[in-house]
């Protein structure tokens, strides 16, 4: 689903269309799960983050003043939900890689797409997921939002509460690390190609919780 379609979907949800609700949940639950799995590190945590992020989104849907920005709006909610989950997760690492563990490389080369962009939509997606998961979290967050979710530098900066210059620097360094690891995989097969997890089907109870929050918000707006 491209961004114009997401915009129309967000408008339909704001208008109270039931079919739009289910489509919205299916689309963004999958996106948030993938982002949260790579940021939080475990499918179990990602499941919780996806549900919590959507609950908070429906609670605050009236605050979505610009439906064309729904993707960045959702990911800002997801980022905060993921941070909270990491603090309480039994899977959280005791020590994170430092942002200084990767070489600085050359100066950022602007906002152009990376040469490896075609891999994002190829059979190497599972390999890329595992390479991204090995990046230090500051680089990982920027690469996920810019290259995987195709958000702009400005949107990424707003979501992560960073300046655009910091986003560009981290994106550049993250891409350098990605290229190095991709080269290693392509020439030496030094990374195992394992399937990436998908979210479990939404349970009736989870759907009802989301639907109830959404309908409550609609009723409050009409009232």
Provide DSSP, 47-109. Answer: HHHHHHHHHHHHHTGGG---GGGHHHHHHHHHHHHHHHHHHH-TT--SSPPPGGGS---S---
Give the DSSP per-residue string, 175-219.
HHHHHHHHHHHHHH--S---PPP-PPPPPHHHHHHHHHHHHHHHH
pLDDT band at 106 (very low <50, low <70, confident <90, very high): very low
User: CB atoms < 10 A from the CB of 36, how many?
Assistant: 28
Helices (H) and strands (E) in the chain, counts: 9, 0
- Range from 40-54, 82-96, 163-177 that averages highest in pLDDT: 163-177
| pLDDT computed for residue 67 by the predictor | 95
Query: Can you tell me the distance from the alpha carbon of 204 to that of 3, in angstroms, rounded to the nearest whole number?
Result: 28
CB within 8 Å of 221: residues ≥ 6 apart: 62
pLDDT higher than 80, residue 90: no
| pLDDT computed for residue 84 by the predictor | 86
The mean pLDDT value of the chain amounts to 83
As a whole number, mean pLDDT of residues 7-16 equals 95
pLDDT band at 196 (very low <50, low <70, confident <90, very high): confident
pLDDT higher than 90, residue 109: no
pLDDT higher than 50, residue 98: no
As a whole number, mean pLDDT of residues 91-107 equals 43
Give the start-to-end residue ranges of the domains of the chain: 3-196+204-222
**Range from 14-23, 91-100, 150-159, 192-201 carrying the lowest mean pLDDT:** 91-100
Report pLDDT digits (tens) over 55-83.
Answer: 999 999 988 989 999 999 999 999 999 88
The token pair at 139 is 């680089």
Task: Report which of residues 77 and 181 the model is more confident about.
Answer: 77
- Range from 66-70, 136-140, 179-183 that averages highest in pLDDT: 66-70
| pLDDT computed for residue 191 by the predictor | 61
* Whole-model pTM over 0.75: yes
- 9 vs 17, 24, 49, 62, 167, CA distance in Å? 9, 7, 22, 15, 29
- Encode 7-23: b = buried (16+ Cβ within 10 Å), e = exposed: bebbebbbeeeeebbeb
The token pair at 138 is 């500051």
Query: Can you tell me the distance from the alpha carbon of 104 to that of 111, in angstroms, rounded to the nearest whole number?
Result: 17
- 157 vs 43, 75, 88, 214, CA distance in Å? 26, 12, 26, 28
| pLDDT computed for residue 116 by the predictor | 52
| pLDDT computed for residue 119 by the predictor | 52
pLDDT higher than 90, residue 163: yes
| pLDDT computed for residue 53 by the predictor | 96
φ, ψ of residue 173 in degrees (nearest 5): -70, -40
As a whole-number percent, the residues of the chain with pLDDT over 90 amount to 55
Instruction: Give yes or no for a contact between 25 and 213, defined as CB atoms under 8 angstroms apart.
Output: no
């Amino acid at each position: 689903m491209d961004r114009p379609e997401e915009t129309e979907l967000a408008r339909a949800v704001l208008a109270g269309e039931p079919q739009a609700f289910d489509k919205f949940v299916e689309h963004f639950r999958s996106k948030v799960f993938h982002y949260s799995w790579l940021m939080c590190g475990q499918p179990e945590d990602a499941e919780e983050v996806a549900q919590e992020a959507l609950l908070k989104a429906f609670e605050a849907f009236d605050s979505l003043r610009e439906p064309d920005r729904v993707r960045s709006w959702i990911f800002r909610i997801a980022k905060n939900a993921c941070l909270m989950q990491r603090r309480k997760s039994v899977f959280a690492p005791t020590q994170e890689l430092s942002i200084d563990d990767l070489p600085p490389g050359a100066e950022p080369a602007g906002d152009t797409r990376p040469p490896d962009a075609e891999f994002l939509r190829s059979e190497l997606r599972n390999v890329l997921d595992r390479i991204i998961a090995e990046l230090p979290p500051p680089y990982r967050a920027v690469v996920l939002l810019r290259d995987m979710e195709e958000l702009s530098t400005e949107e990424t900066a707003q979501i992560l509460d960073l300046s655009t210059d910091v986003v560009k620097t981290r994106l550049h360094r993250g891409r350098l690390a990605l290229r190095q690891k991709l080269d290693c995989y392509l020439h030496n097969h030094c990374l195992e190609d394992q399937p990436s997890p998908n979210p479990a089907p939404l349970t009736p109870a989870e759907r009802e919780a989301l639907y109830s929050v959404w309908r409550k918000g609609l009723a409050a707006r009409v009232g």
